[in-house]
Structure formats: structure tokens, C-alpha cells
Amino acid sequence: MEKRTKLYEGKAKILYETDDPNLLIQYFKDAATAFNALKKGTIVNKGILNNQISSFIFQLLEREGVKTHYVQTLNEREMLVKRLKIFPLEVVVRNILAGSLAKKFNLEEGRTLPFPILEFYYKDDSLGDPLIIEDHIRAFGWAAPQELEQIKQMTLKVNQILSAFLLAKGILLVDFKLEFGAHQGEILLGDEFTPDGSRLWDAQTGEKMDKDRFRRDLGKVEEAYQEVCRRITG
């Protein structure tokens, strides 16, 4: 597979075109950002760890019947993925009260929610990825009603699979972000699943094992990513 022109560079990944118009190479960076890129830094070997974690999770989901953009792992920082027409949406699932939801309502983190809460955000860095409702999605044509329904069902299935899998590894899946896209008429899970875009707590101690350690200057950031990778892939 020949790597060609850089198609897109985001905060944590770079996408490259290949000699196959239906396939891209996704490269994972060590760069770390928070608060809509107001805070920037580097987490040593984050790209390597995130590539390993995402590769493992995508393969797990595929075995469980969730279709993803993953094709194969190419090397320690790159995976081959199907080219998607991305829906301009971030889908967030919240299982335990934390982060912006706790802050918004001045509630203490850690309460298990009675059911998974699904939130939608419009993908636009210049606007700060604002929270939106389903009527916005339909009104502005960001996804058709049947596409949105499929995205919701896929998201809940991913949550069910990963919550059980991670709990068996001693990790609570507090909340996480997913992105979806269309490929040859099918809706696929895209982007990544990593400690960058999810909150992961130790099931016994409640210790944070995700990018909140970077956001909140808690220290031992690299160690947390390493431990998540070890538990998931080991």
C-alpha cells in the first residue's frame, strides 16, 4: 500500500491518501490537546499506544457485529482504514456522571446514571463543537432520520459491548465519543477509541486512566495510557 498526499491533519491524527481511492492511512500522533486546543502538550508514545488500543477495539467490535472503518494495522503508528464520508457529528455516551455534565449541573462526579445518556455535538472546532439536539441534525441535513437512528443503535451496541469488556479488565467506561461515516452505502464506525476520547476509571480505586490526567495536571499521564493498553490488549 503506497502512502500518498496528506489529506487531513487533526489534533491527534493525520490521514493520508493511498493508491487505492477507497482506503486511507491513519497516523496517530503524540500531540495532546484539551479545552478545544487551548491547552497543548505531548504525551510520550501516545500515538503508539492509541494505535494499539484502537486496533484491538475495532477488531473486537467487528467480531461482535459492529462494522468499522478498520482494515489492518500497518505499523506501530499507522492503520489502514476505509475512506468515509464523515457525518459532522460527535456522538457522546455517558454512563457515569463526570466532566462537563457534572460541571454543568454542579453535581459531584461518580454517580452511575440510570441509563446511558446520548449527546450529539456538531463537529466544528471554530465553534467549539457545540451541543446540538436531534432536530438540529434533521433540520440542517447532517444525517437523514434513518441514518441517525442507525447511528444511535450502533452507539448503544458499542456501549454495551465495551462496558462489559472493559469491566472484565478492571476498567469502568465512564463516557466516550464516537464518530461515524458512510462508505459505499454503509454506515461505519470511524475515527478511534482511545483514552483521548473516553473517560476510563479503575474499577476498584476510581483512579482516572485517561486524558483527564493531562487536562487536570494529575501527573502519570503516560503511565495511565500504558496501563490501559496493557489491560485491553493483554
| Domains of the chain with bracketed CATH | 3-82 (3.30.200.20), 87-219 (3.30.470.20)
Give how far the C-alpha of residue 30 lies from the chain's centroid of Cα atoms, to the nearest Å: 16
Q: What pTM, to 2 d.p., does this model score?
A: 0.96
Instruction: Give the number of other Cβ atoms within 10 Å of residue 15's Cβ.
Output: 16
pLDDT value for 128? 92
pLDDT value for 51? 98
What's the one-letter identity of residue 168? A
The answer to whether the CB of 46 falls within 8 A of the CB of 28 is yes
Listed in sequence order, the residues at least 6 apart from 21 whose beta carbon sits closer than 8 Å to its beta carbon are: 83
pLDDT value for 119? 98
Mind listing the pLDDT tens digit of every residue in the chain (234 residues)? 799 999 999 999 999 999 999 999 999 999 999 887 778 999 999 999 999 999 999 999 999 999 999 999 999 999 999 999 999 999 999 999 999 999 999 999 999 999 999 999 999 989 999 999 999 999 999 999 999 999 999 999 999 999 999 999 999 999 999 999 999 999 999 999 999 999 999 999 999 999 999 999 999 999 999 999 999 999
